[in-house]
Amino acid sequence: MAVGGRGRRPLLLLLLLLAVALALAARARAQLSPGFYSASCPTVHGVVRQVMSQAVMNDTRAGAAVLRLFYHDCFVGGCDASVLLDDTPAAPGEKGVGPNAVGSTTVFDLVDTIKAQVEAVCPATVSCADVLAIAARDSVNLLGGPSWAVPLGRRDALSPSRSAVSTDLPGPEADISALVSAFAAKGLSSRDLAALSGAHTVGRASCVNFRTRVYCDANVSPAFASHQRQSCPASGGDAALAPLDSLTPDAFDNGYYRNLVAGAGLLHSDQELFNNGPVDSVVQLYSSNAAAFSSDFAASMIRLGNIGPLTGSTGEVRLNCRKFSATMAAMSASGRRVFLLGALLLVAVSCHGGFGGVGVAEGLSTRYYAKTCPAVESVVRSVMARAVAADRRMGASVLRLFFHDCFVNGCDGSVLLDDAPPGFTGEKGAGANAGSARGFEVVDAAKARVEAACRATVSCADVLALAARDAVALLGGPTWPVRLGRKDARTASQAAANGNLPGPVSSLTSLLATFAAKGLSARDMTALSGAHTVGRARCATFRGRVNGGDANVNATFATQLRRLCPAGTGGDGNLAPLDAQTPDVFDNGYFRELTKQRGLLHSDQELFAAGGGGRSSSQDALVRKYAGNGAEFARDFAKAMVKMGNLAPAAGTPVEVRLNCRKPN
């Protein structure tokens, strides 16, 4: 009975969350009304329609872009126009994160135009959230789709929900289970999921989002895949566009569903709707009955628009959709948490060992557990989210564990093994790990949760790889598809840990050689060093640098640190942030610090010497580039993490899937 009770808890929790979501949706319906502006701005619908009509006439893709924007707004913190906010130093917005980080900015200009014309006739009356809701409805109708009465009365958010973008918006690789769960969390049914996905009957997607589909998926039409490969090569061409509905790309009809039935869905997440799953019958219905699709789509759009709106006196009515009103900005800036500049930048993926990448472990795939443990990523993510919420430093600690695992005989979970006297000595006591490696208990918790869901299936090495990716994203950094299928080593090597992990006093020459030995370039080394934008280091590792040992150190910076870390002895365990400006935010602050000679470790500052010591000017130039371009750093870091995650143990290494990450089975 105890086991059965535990098994019911996730279901009960899901039902409770669904009940709360439905209650919130009911409250929203009670407060929103199609006639909200009938007295205060009766012409709002005509104004919005006129601007949208001209925009779609000029470029039919504008309709798809506005519709997508509305979806991305509502799914992240509710339909509150938070997606429209520009970044500010106090509150980085949602535009540069995850699915929002790529694509044209023209759609935001279009919303600005609509808002300006509405303001001209009804000053300070209609919210940006309502403007976007009306524009989305008109986009669909102008492209040949249905229309509906839009409930109005939303107000605009006073802050963005940057951290929720990567977690709440399903990605192009999402499976049907993840899609159903994501929609259920918003109070939307499986039928709503099937209907709203029909928005992909218009619009385009970038090659980077469907490369895996057309090279790796089994449930794809061979002719369709062959055709798409012509514009989306195995590597390169990430930004090349293809229509989501190849039959009628600019007409809002049921062609999308006919494509799915033919195995010609462009994205993996699209084809998941018709893949022997729970909505196959709905897809079949929509593919042959356009009227049923139109009716359901309109009803589902109303439900989507009811997600978490701000009403009454909450929020504000922005005058400019890109920024808060001056009063609200002043009131909220001081209390707003600083989130990190980051972008989801996907990289070329591999089905069977890569398309010529360096050091790709054989058999790794982003879909390795698609059948055997489809929930693994969400399980790990939930554990990491709680850990980082409880202690921001834990994200840096788990990321460091992954580095220290992969650099010692490959990404095999060996760093997680405890010593077992008298015959087995693990890597935890090696120089770079002793007294500083932490996060093992978080990996244990994630592994235990995964084991509860998928017994003896997912390796500790893969749990750690996923946890490291999630640690970065949860601290505001980029995310990436993690290749999976690693096995756990039954052995460890403290000697290899001492010999392979760069130390805090390493020179640039030593760093380059160490990374090159792993098949990683100077650019990879520099990008991966950016992991030091989060975390702390002990006084013992930087004492020499700040107490006269280094010439290329900012004098004021050194003076401040000497108070914490005096010369001589004592205070070895005192901690200082590796990035003094934003110590718990994964951004490009680390590189900005290096350009000011404020790198905490000697090995950090070796990446930037301002042309001194005969060092490479190209190395300095790369640090300057990352210091000035957070998006480029995020992109390169994600790519380098994928490369590092491909480091495999030597052939013949005994491996298994451990049940307990701390000891062999």
Asked whether residue 233 is marked as a ligand-binding residue, the answer is: no
Distance of alpha carbon 579 from alpha carbon 605, whole angstroms: 12
Q: In this structure, what token pair is assigned to residue 539? A: 């006084």
Q: Cβ of 225: how many Cβ atoms within 10 Å? A: 18
Cis peptide before 422 (omega within 30 of 0): yes
What share of residues in the chain are helix, strand, coil (percent, to 5)?
Answer: 50, 5, 45
Asked whether residue 200 is marked as a ligand-binding residue, the answer is: no
Distance of alpha carbon 61 from alpha carbon 574, whole angstroms: 56
Distance of alpha carbon 595 from alpha carbon 424, whole angstroms: 44
Asked whether residue 656 is marked as a ligand-binding residue, the answer is: no
34: CB partners within 8 A, 6+ apart: 149, 150, 151, 152
Asked whether residue 502 is marked as a ligand-binding residue, the answer is: yes
What are the backbone angles phi and psi of residue 143, rounded to the nearest 5°?
A: -95, 10
Q: Give CA separation, 71 vs 154, 208, 268, 304, in Å.
A: 15, 21, 19, 8
Asked whether residue 532 is marked as a ligand-binding residue, the answer is: yes
Asked whether residue 582 is marked as a ligand-binding residue, the answer is: yes
Catalytic residue among 200, 268, 404, 602: 404
Asked whether residue 405 is marked as a ligand-binding residue, the answer is: yes
Tell me whether residue 404 is one of the annotated catalytic residues.
yes
Mind spelling out the 3-state secondary structure of 11-50? HHHHHHHHHHHHHHHHHHHHHCECCCCCCCCCCHHHHHHH
Asked whether residue 419 is marked as a ligand-binding residue, the answer is: no
- For residues 429 and 495, the answer to whether their CB atoms sit within 8 Å is no
478: CB partners within 8 A, 6+ apart: 342, 343, 344, 345, 472, 634, 635, 637, 638
3-class DSSP assignment, residue 538: strand
Chain CA centroid to CA 357, Å: 23
Asked whether residue 408 is marked as a ligand-binding residue, the answer is: yes
List, as residue ranges, the binding site for Ca(2+). 405, 408, 410, 412, 414, 427, 533, 579, 582, 587
List, as residue ranges, the binding site. 405, 408, 410, 412, 414, 427, 502, 532-533, 579, 582, 587
List, as residue ranges, the binding site for heme b. 532
Active site residues: 404
